Amino acid sequence: MKSVLFINTKPPYSSLATREAIDAVLATAAFGVPAGLLFIDDGVFQLRKGQNPQPAELKRTAPMFEALDMYGVEEIHVCQASLERRGLQPDDLIVPVQIADASALRALLNRFDHLLTF
């Protein structure tokens, strides 16, 4: 079966990108298709701990990422340079991730059969 890498490039809440990506990932995983996630540039903010969007009357998206494990989605990759540029450490993120440098990022794009950007 062909695998799909979901590439998250946008921060949460300012657009529907995060929710659309989660819907697509869960649908993909529900059909048993191998899925992985990559967070790059402002996309890494989706995984930051301590998000409290309720005062802005927005819904938390973070719990969905914590549930990915139950759907069999185990590959969560984060761009190292994007994290560093934003002053974030892996410990600042809500789920365990694999840190990817430039060559690891290119290897990811090559390994997955389909690449979907959000």
Partner 1 sequence: MILHIVSASPYSHDALQRCLRLAADHDAILLIEDGVLALDSSAHFLDQSPTRHLYALEPDLHARGVVQADDNVVTTVDYDGFVELTTRCDKTVSWF
In angstroms, the CA 91 to CA 88 distance is 8
Contact residue for partner 1 among 6, 8, 9, 65 (CB under 8 A): 9
* Segment interacting with partner 1 (CB under 8 A) among 46-54, 64-72, 91-99, 100-108: 100-108
Nearer to partner 1, 27 or 81 (CB): 81
Is residue 85 a contact point for partner 1 (CB under 8 A)?
Answer: no
Q: How many residues does the chain have?
A: 118
CB of 109 to partner 1, least distance (A): 6
Count Cα atoms within 13 angstroms, Cβ side, for 3.
15
Beta bridge partners of 76: 37
